[in-house]
Amino acid sequence: MLLVTDIGNTNVVLGIYDDDKLLKTWRLSTHRHNTRDEYSIFIRSLLKDSEITPDQISDACICSVVPSLTPSFIAIFEHDFAVTPVVVRPGIKTGLVILYEPPQDVGADRIVNSLAGYKKFGGPLVIVDFGTATTFDVVSAKGEYLGGLITPGPGVSAEALAIRAARLPSVDIRKPRDVIGRNTIDAIRSGLYHGHIGACDHIIEKIISKFDEKPKIIATGGLADIIKEDSKYITEIYPHLTLEGLRIIYEMNS
């Protein structure tokens, strides 16, 4: 079995593949100060609950945007599972032509998403990932990674409001009851929700205008389902796009 791991700023997402079939996924909170032993206990417990033994893990692949945690996860796979993981780093085979400047600056998760999306749909393609940041990645019909945009995610915006404005509370991100908020919490929630959808749709429109052929628009990430409800362009959600990209990259580099 292949254990794939996406180490993000908010969550660590793990998945188990048997060949090309995704059997199980888990989501842990990202804590930069957790030790290798702590994450090892979490992973072993999750596998045990799913009746998967360590000796069934034959391979592993990692992408990470939290450099301080990457060595811990490499050590976990090597020590606990006797597996040397494939790590998504500059120079790894992806089959994409990276036109970002410099190429090594683009986030590993963005390349993994772009590869998975291109393998599934071809190009031109726009992948929107709703995470700590909302990222837009653009792939040409020829399989060129053209670049994209990075914006603060709704959660980051909500935290910034609560920190910088003394009288504004922290709110959770969900669809408001009405666009016109009748109390402070609903007003903030509506602003975050509709403001983010408006920004996303505007950005996508600007990207579409760069192409003669309308690109396919796909989305992933924790808030994709919420945004989809009122977005003009976000209609197709692929929650495990990053995990699928890690599986593909493992097969290309193992």
Which residues are part of the catalytic machinery?
Answer: 109
Total H helices, total E strands in the chain = 7, 10
Other C-beta atoms closer than 10 Å to the C-beta of 151 total 15
- Give, rounded to a whole angstrom, the gap between the first and last alpha carbons of the chain: 13
Using alpha carbons, list the distances in angstroms from residue 163 to 9, 63, 132, 151, 228.
19, 31, 17, 19, 28
Give the Cα separation of 132 and 121 in Å (integer): 25
Q: What are φ and ψ of residue 154, in 5° steps?
A: -55, -35
The number of residues in the chain equals 254
The Cα 193–Cα 155 span in angstroms is 10
- Contact between 202 and 215 under an 8 Å Cβ cutoff? The reply is no
